[in-house]
Each structure stands twice: as C-alpha cells, then as structure tokens.
Structure 1
Amino acid sequence: MGSGNHGPATMSLDGFIADPTDQVGPLFDWYGNGDIEVAPGDLERMFQVTAARAKYLTESWKTPESSQATK
C-alpha cells in the first residue's frame, strides 16, 4: 500500500467555521446563497443553492425507491 500526507483533519462541533474574512460564520451559509430552490423532502425547508449544487443535492438525495419510479 502507498502512503501519503493527508494533512490535518478538522471538524466543527458547534456549527460555525471561519468565513473568507476569517470571522466566525455559520457552517451552512451556502444553503442560502444561490438562485435555485431545492428541498430535501420537506417543503418547509427550502434551500437556495447554485445550479451545480442543486444538481448534486438532487442526485444525492434520491432514494433507491425514487430512482426505480423514474425508470
């Protein structure tokens, strides 16, 4: 097996990370910074994301049952 330098791993325990100005900002701000609305199955919680993120989220949120229904 090969080896490599994977660098340090970090994780937010409080839901906040540093923003581009090195200030503390909400971890999930990106869920509200786009023009496309998507919902993870709960229409009460719509996210505003970019087109690329909407495509990724829509695909990743599909369940095996919903994938079968569209075939």
Structure 2
Amino acid sequence: LAAEVGSIDAIAGLVAAGAGFGIVPRLAVAAVLDRGEVAEVAWPGPVRSADLVMIWRRRRVQPPALKALLG
C-alpha cells in the first residue's frame, strides 16, 4: 500500500498519473475509462461479492425516499 485516499476520483487521478493501480467499481470510473485515461484489467480469479449494509439516523418522520426503499 503506497497511498490511501478518500475518494474514487482521487484514486482514478492517481492511476491516470501513473502512480499505480486501484480497485474500484467500474461504474464509478466509466467516464475516465471512456476518455482513455485509465485501462481496465479483468479480475484474474473468481468474482467475489460482499454484503452491503445501510444505516440511517432513526427519526420520527422518515423522508419519502427512505420510506419507499424500506417498503
């Protein structure tokens, strides 16, 4: 590990500058890929998955979007 950054844009920028490689969601760097600033390399082994967890602050009234998602 040579660097740790807090955003996918920063990772893409470091990769585009030649600082190394990064593992990020393809969708998050689609524009950079389309411009040819970085290259995509296929994952060499089986594709793995990870659980996603969503948390939110408990409120008396939920925003409509959250209410629809939970429904």
TM-score (norm 1): 0.25
Higher strand share: 1
TM-score (norm 2): 0.25
Of structures 1 and 2, the one scoring higher in RCO (CA 8 A, sep 6+) is 2
Higher helix share: 2
